[in-house]
Amino acid sequence: MARNVKSDTVVYQIYPRSYMDSDGDGIGDIPGIISRLDYIASLGVNTIWLSPVYASPDDDNGYDISDYKAIQPHFGTMEDFDRLIAEARARGIDIVMDLVINHTSDEHEWFRRALAGEEKYRNYYIIKEGKGGKLPNNWGNFFAECPWTKFGDSENEYYLHLFSKKQPDLNWHNPDVLAEIEDIMHFWLEKGVAGFRCDVINIIYKNSYEDGKKKLILTGSEHYLSTDGCHEILAKLRSACLEPYKAWAVGETVFVDIDQARKLTDVDRGELDMAFSFEHMEVDQVIVKWFRTKLKPKKLMRTISKWQTGLDWNAVYFENHDQPRFISRLVGARGYREEASKMMAGLVMTLRGTPFIFEGQEIGMTNFDYEDMSDVMDIESHNIYNLLSSLHLPKRLRWRMIRLTSRDNARTPMQWTDGEHAGFTEGTPWLKVNGNHKTVNVKTEERKADGVLAFWKRMIALRKTSDALKEGGFEPLYEGGRIYAYRRRCEGESLVAIFNMTAKEAKLPRALKVEGEVIASNYDTHGDALLPFEFELIREEA
Ligand code: TEU
């Protein structure tokens, strides 16, 4: 089997709630996205990944699906969706759907019918008896709540939910579940979607429901991370759904190591085209994601190189709807937002793999500027905050942790203009816009010949014309305290990318002498030392 994703695919992720509101209800929608397709096309990207737009009670902003074949009414109608596909295609842009199949919403018809006592649908979920007055097992939960909730009125039965209690896990031991999901995938593929981003795909198949070895987080995960059953299901979904349409799939694969990711993306096994790994997002993390320390560039470089050399093809990303803005992690309060944003464009567009750009990254959007929990909407952040309160952590510390790690950092509305609500809505936005929209916004960027947006566009365009960037191998050259360098080479072209990943000037190490022409950079002049967050792409002499 071959990989279905093409080497020139560049993906732009849209979090529909926060992108563009067309009807003034404060929530982004599909007509809003359609109205921005010319802008998206102007970036040079050729694929959009849409975070979920299916019907949902929105306990987790659409990652709790109540009908896989319907559009969330506040996002629009199925006609709007069909129009989106057609209008995007007219601009050479594919649509990739988010596929959330570890769990449904508790308001999905299957769960309702299970609750109503229909045996067939009980079997779609994981319902277990409590043990001696206790829960069925000692597992942990991704959202820091209890993963077992009483099933309906039952005395001693619980259903498993690794996320919120409104997200019951599906029972992937049941072949009917597989058949349902295949049907759903065919439905969207028939509409012309180019593939799927598969939510927490490596945890869908639970090997057993025994107690897990006690851990600080996610006790029990050894029973469901990248199990053989999961590999089997992925292979089936590929041959039954993806292959007939030559569609591709990227897996969100939590807690994977290189070996697991290699297996999940091995072309001959025919499962996923590529996987989102997390190790590079955890370089500033201490044990769990809510404890952050300063980002150490060398650790970041080493992690990037490890995955670049360890996997044949990577899903290259530094931002998405779950992660704080990477720019904020990189520069903190030190300034250099523009320089660092451009440097990140250089990094994303020159690594080997499929680049994913998250909405707003292309104009250098940063973490939210809220000062209080009342502005935060994310269920995970609220759960954590409550947990920390129950542990009597001082309010200041609690808030600091939320501020640095909340998923809402990435979910603030897209900043289109310097006007009211950043031009995102004429109503009241569901989540407050960042005050820096006065200076950081698309309209302002579009007027700048050398702005962050212009630089992203240039890097996206450059990648399209370069075989070394699209297909060439990756060779790490230097990983220092400040400077990172690697070579991308294919027959006939050799490029070296050099980065100063810090806010201080850094001397070019003697070991790193590269001869050639600078073909892209975020600074005009180049000396022996790299300026703060300087990026250079050098075409080596043949
Ligand atoms: O995320 C799964 C996941 O493990 C994390 O990224 C999650 O956001 C959290 O940080 C766990 O501590 C996916 C989606 O991307 C996320 O938005 C959903 O909330 C989640 O699955 C459940 O569907």
Assess whether pLDDT exceeds 90 at residue 286: no
Q: What is the chain's mean pLDDT, rounded? A: 96
Cα–ligand 1 centroid distance for 212 (angstroms): 21
Assess whether pLDDT exceeds 80 at residue 1: no
Per-residue DSSP letter, 35? H
Which pTM was predicted? 0.97
322 confidence band (pLDDT: 50, 70, 90): very high
The beta strands (E) that lie in 375-454 are given as: none
Asked which of 58-67, 186-195, 525-534 is least confident by mean pLDDT, the reply is 525-534
Mean pLDDT on 482-499: 97
Assess whether pLDDT exceeds 80 at residue 542: no
Residue nearest to atom 2 of ligand 1 (CA): 200
Q: Of these residues, 80, 252, 322, 380, which one is catalytic?
A: 252
Domain boundaries, the chain: 11-106+171-459, 109-160, 471-540
Characterize the bridge pairing of strands 127-129 and 157-160.
antiparallel
C-beta of residue 120 within 8 angstroms of C-beta of residue 222: no
Mean pLDDT on 323-342: 92
Query: What architecture does CATH give domain 471-540?
Result: Sandwich (2.60)
pLDDT of residue 381: 96
Q: Is 378 in the pocket of ligand 1 (CB under 6 A)?
A: no
The predicted-structure confidence for 350-376, as pLDDT tens digits, reads as follows 999 999 999 999 999 999 999 999 999
Characterize the bridge pairing of strands 353-358 and 11-14.
parallel
Among the atoms of ligand 1, which is closest to the Cα of residue 321? Answer: 17
The predicted-structure confidence for 26-41, as pLDDT tens digits, reads as follows 999 999 999 999 999 9
Residue nearest to atom 4 of ligand 1 (CA): 254
Q: Is 199 in the pocket of ligand 1 (CB under 6 A)?
A: yes
The predicted-structure confidence for 225-234, as pLDDT tens digits, reads as follows 999 999 999 9
CA dist list (Å): 21 to 186, 403, 409: 29, 26, 19
How far apart CA 326 and CA 328 sit, in angstroms, is: 5
- Assigned token pair, 231: 């590999």
Instruction: Enumerate residues 6+ apart whose C-beta is below 8 A from 206.
Output: 126, 160, 169, 172, 173, 223, 224, 227
Greater model confidence, 2 or 201: 201
Mean pLDDT on 239-258: 98
How far apart CA 72 and CA 333 sit, in angstroms, is: 38
Residue with tokens 């072209």: 493
Mean pLDDT on 72-89: 98
Instruction: Enumerate residues 6+ apart whose C-beta is below 8 A from 333.
Output: none
pLDDT of residue 114: 98
Q: How many CB atoms lie within 10 A of CB 14?
A: 24
**Burial degree of 67 (CB within 10 A; 0-12, 13-18, 19+):** middle
Whether 210 sits among the annotated catalytic residues: the reply is: no
Mean pLDDT on 208-229: 96
Strand order across the 47-50 sheet: 274-276, 248-252, 195-198, 94-99, 47-50, 11-14, 353-358, 314-316
Q: Is 534 in the pocket of ligand 1 (CB under 6 A)?
A: no
How far apart CA 246 and CA 70 sit, in angstroms, is: 24
Assess whether pLDDT exceeds 90 at residue 293: no
The predicted-structure confidence for 167-204, as pLDDT tens digits, reads as follows 999 999 999 999 999 999 999 999 999 999 999 999 99
Among the atoms of ligand 1, which is closest to the Cα of residue 254? Answer: 4
490 confidence band (pLDDT: 50, 70, 90): very high
Residue nearest to atom 22 of ligand 1 (CA): 63
541 confidence band (pLDDT: 50, 70, 90): confident
User: Buried (b) or exposed (e) across 415-429, using 16+ Cβ within 10 A?
Assistant: bbebeebbbbbeeeb
Residue nearest to atom 8 of ligand 1 (CA): 322
Cα–ligand 1 centroid distance for 323 (angstroms): 9
pLDDT of residue 513: 85
pLDDT above 90 coverage of the chain, percent: 94
How far apart CA 338 and CA 96 sit, in angstroms, is: 30
* CATH number for region 109-160: 3.90.400.10
How far apart CA 479 and CA 477 sit, in angstroms, is: 7
Q: Is 121 in the pocket of ligand 1 (CB under 6 A)?
A: no
DSSP class per residue in 365-396: -------SGGG---HHHHHHHHHHHHTT--HH
For residue 135, which of 123, 144, 127 has the smallest C-alpha distance?
Answer: 127
Whether 268 sits among the annotated catalytic residues: the reply is: no
pLDDT of residue 179: 98
The predicted-structure confidence for 398-412, as pLDDT tens digits, reads as follows 999 999 999 999 999
Assess whether pLDDT exceeds 80 at residue 214: yes
* 3 state SS of 356: strand
Q: Does domain 11-106+171-459 have CATH number 3.20.20.80?
A: yes
pLDDT of residue 499: 98
C-beta of residue 192 within 8 angstroms of C-beta of residue 89: yes
Q: Is 169 in the pocket of ligand 1 (CB under 6 A)?
A: no
158 DSSP β-pair partners: 128, 150
The predicted-structure confidence for 450-464, as pLDDT tens digits, reads as follows 999 999 999 999 999
How far apart CA 334 and CA 296 sit, in angstroms, is: 15
Among the atoms of ligand 1, which is closest to the Cα of residue 322? Answer: 8
Residue nearest to atom 5 of ligand 1 (CA): 322
Assess whether pLDDT exceeds 90 at residue 332: no
Characterize the bridge pairing of strands 288-292 and 285-286.
antiparallel
How far apart CA 498 and CA 521 sit, in angstroms, is: 9
Instruction: Enumerate residues 6+ apart whose C-beta is below 8 A from 263.
Output: 226, 231, 269, 271
How far apart CA 381 and CA 249 sit, in angstroms, is: 29
Assess whether pLDDT exceeds 90 at residue 527: no
| H or E stretch covering 273 | none
**Residue type for 233, please?**
I
Residue nearest to atom 6 of ligand 1 (CA): 322
**Residue type for 167, please?**
Q
**Topology alike, domains 11-106+171-459 and 471-540:** no
Characterize the bridge pairing of strands 94-99 and 47-50.
parallel
Cα–ligand 1 centroid distance for 539 (angstroms): 39
**Residue type for 445, please?**
E
Q: Is 254 in the pocket of ligand 1 (CB under 6 A)?
A: yes
Cα–ligand 1 centroid distance for 322 (angstroms): 6
23 confidence band (pLDDT: 50, 70, 90): very high
pLDDT of residue 136: 98
| Phi, psi for residue 125 in degrees, rounded to 5 | -120, 175
C-beta of residue 271 within 8 angstroms of C-beta of residue 281: no
| H or E stretch covering 175 | helix 175-190
Q: Of these residues, 21, 29, 169, 199, which one is catalytic?
A: 199
pLDDT of residue 291: 86
